[in-house]
Amino acid sequence: MASNTSATTLFRQTTGTATDPAALLPGPADGSFSPPPPLPLNDSTSPGSHDDDHPAPHRYRTIWLSDIHLGSSGCQANYLLDFLRHNDSDYLYLVGDIIDGWQLKKGWYWPQAHNDVVQKVLRKARKGTHVVYVPGNHDEAARQFCDLSFGDIQVREEAFHTTLAGKRMWVVHGDLFDGVIQHAKWLAYLGDSAYTVILVLNRWFNRIRSRLGFQYWSLSQYLKHQVKNAVNFISSFERVMTDEARRRGCDGVVCGHIHKAEIRDIDGMLYCNDGDWVESLSALVETFEGELRIIYWTVMQAPQAQRTTRKARVSA
């Protein structure tokens, strides 16, 4: 009996096609995940790989990514693929909305760049990176597989990560604590449609900027943050998440969902949001010095180019 399940099978399940449960491996009964000791990574690539022209990636202890929205036209897959080529880690957390099942139900959209992202993540898992996938609301179909494993990728409803500084972080997407998602899902679908239109405008806007020699800048994020209700919602969400982390006996939370990267202290609790890959193009990382940072990958890197990213830092 096969112990691995292909990425294609997982995508089919996300969009409504059955997956053979016999191909899945059981995980811990409590749904939690505590990182095991890291395995040594083999950074070499096979002959003929498209990564051969890239320098050795920068190493972090942990990388958190969320809200990638593969399968939607708003996904900035080329930027994410560039980020994955230039950065490696012992632990990789995929914190929900990795695949956009809502958009895939409306119409199939899966360009080669989206497939390349999936293959890159699978390759990292095969080489020793401990990959944990925590589904969100856009890929909620994967929640039926929580506590199971797809090959080298563990699926969990939530996870717990201890930083080098000894802080216990609760890792969860965050949609289960969003009142609109839980009690007025029709409104969430309506808002998603309007948001998709904004992302289309954002994509064309940045194509024009690129041709004029300017780097990526999120029009959609700017518009969202000018709306008072959106700002108030984000503030309320952040406080709810830290309150829930405190109830779980944690020192902080790492989440996604609202597409706003952030690291800040809220009443003695550490709130971290790893952002998204449709607007801010951001990731949360933990260095080997125990520092948490937000990295904005808004400039595509040539093989020998020097990385010039903006960073928000805080001691873990």
Segment 301-310, tens digit of pLDDT: 755 333 434 4
Task: Retrieve residue 13's tokens.
Answer: 């399940």
Q: What pLDDT score was predicted for residue 89?
A: 98
pTM over 0.85: no
Lowest mean pLDDT among 12-16, 190-194, 239-243, 249-253: 12-16
Lowest mean pLDDT among 38-47, 118-127, 191-200: 38-47
Q: What pLDDT score was predicted for residue 235?
A: 72
pLDDT at 174 over 80: yes
pLDDT at 147 over 70: yes
- Residue that is written with structure tokens 């390349």 in the block: 116
**All domains of the chain, ordered by start, with CATH?**
55-315 (3.60.21.10)
For the residues 213-228, what does the mean pLDDT come to? 64
What share of the chain has pLDDT > 70, as a percent? 65
Q: What pLDDT score was predicted for residue 148?
A: 94
Per-chain mean pLDDT for the chain: 77
Segment 225-282, tens digit of pLDDT: 655 455 555 678 899 999 999 999 999 999 999 999 999 999 999 999 999 999 889 9
Which is more confidently placed, 222 or 8?
222
Which is more confidently placed, 310 or 157?
157
Segment 56-69, tens digit of pLDDT: 889 999 999 999 99
Segment 96-143, tens digit of pLDDT: 999 999 889 989 999 999 999 999 999 999 999 999 999 999 999 999
Cα–Cα distance for residue pair 76/221, rounded to 1 Å = 14
Q: What pLDDT score was predicted for residue 185?
A: 44
